[in-house]
Structure 1
């Protein structure tokens, strides 16, 4: 099985048009275009009944004490956790492409609706937790919201775009399901998977 993410080469930087946050020399970060990239896939195995698309960052600090704090840095050796940026499930087997901007086109304060989207069913991404303390932004964030790593992180962040061919029409997920729910529901149902990884940073020393 093969996956292609238009504009993103494996191991190369992700263009800013796909980012939630972009570098700003004065304020460290500004909101970005936040468009989902075009994702397409091919060579799904026989018996495929649906697809799931997941994008996640495994390099997110496990503690947020020093994140985006003036005069501090997030050390590279700090333990890291997964942060889910995009969850789409129950994509019909007849679909093999999600166009650019189809699931996200701009930062939407308080988030997009979960549940049925333009393609498939949207799960809830981790901006829901990350922005929970921000009165202007707090809400339920579903579907795609792109990279916005801490601007003071010593570590370059990696973003895995994955497509999974599944042997079921639906994973049976409803409500505000998250990335861990998707992974658990997929167990025993994955026929094939493919991945492309891009990188991103807001740290001027790493750019």
Structure 2
């Protein structure tokens, strides 16, 4: 079964501050195993479904070569696409209130290259070309003071 794990956090556990927008904004380490047959490339979607405005996208990476099965901390394994923050690159958690979940989804794709240049096209193209998806999530709690 296609699986993703991380040395940076445990599945469903808290993300350290260095992976947040309060810290260094480092992306966590990710490793995936049991790659499905027929996979030609990978992409990464990191999003927060608990955002008050709906799904908030923190990181999009496309065109990850099939021979790459891990992402070291604070590194980029492919081509980045503009996120909900309005920039390319990883931008970590900064929830306005409460505790949010931050999903890291690795898509095994049947295409070698994705063309998407925006969030909507990225999700659509990933879904159309997926062979399998492996995911984990970490949590992060708002650091805003309550008055």
The reply to whether TM is greater than 0.5 is yes
Match of 2:37 among 21, 46, 49: 46
- Unpaired segments of 5 or more residues in structure 1? 22-31, 63-80, 104-118, 129-140
1:56 aligns with 2:57: no
Counterpart position of 1:156:
99
Name the count of aligned residue pairs.
145
User: What CA distance in whole angstroms lies between the structure 2 residues aligned with 1:102 and 1:88?
Assistant: 11
Q: CA deviation at 1:203?
A: 4.5
Residues 63-102 of structure 1: matches in 2 within 5 Å? 81-102=54-75
Q: Decide whether the 8 Å contact of 2:48 with 2:100 is kept in 1.
A: yes
- Unpaired segments of 5 or more residues in structure 2? none
User: What CA distance in whole angstroms lies between the structure 1 residues aligned with 2:143 and 2:26?
Assistant: 21
User: What CA distance in whole angstroms lies between the structure 2 residues aligned with 1:186 and 1:203?
Assistant: 33
User: What CA distance in whole angstroms lies between the structure 1 residues aligned with 2:144 and 2:92?
Assistant: 19
Please tell me whether Structure 1 or Structure 2 has the larger radius of gyration of its CA atoms.
1
Counterpart position of 2:93:
147
Q: CA deviation at 1:204?
A: 6.7
Aligned structure 1 segments of 4 or more residues deviating by more than 6 angstroms: none
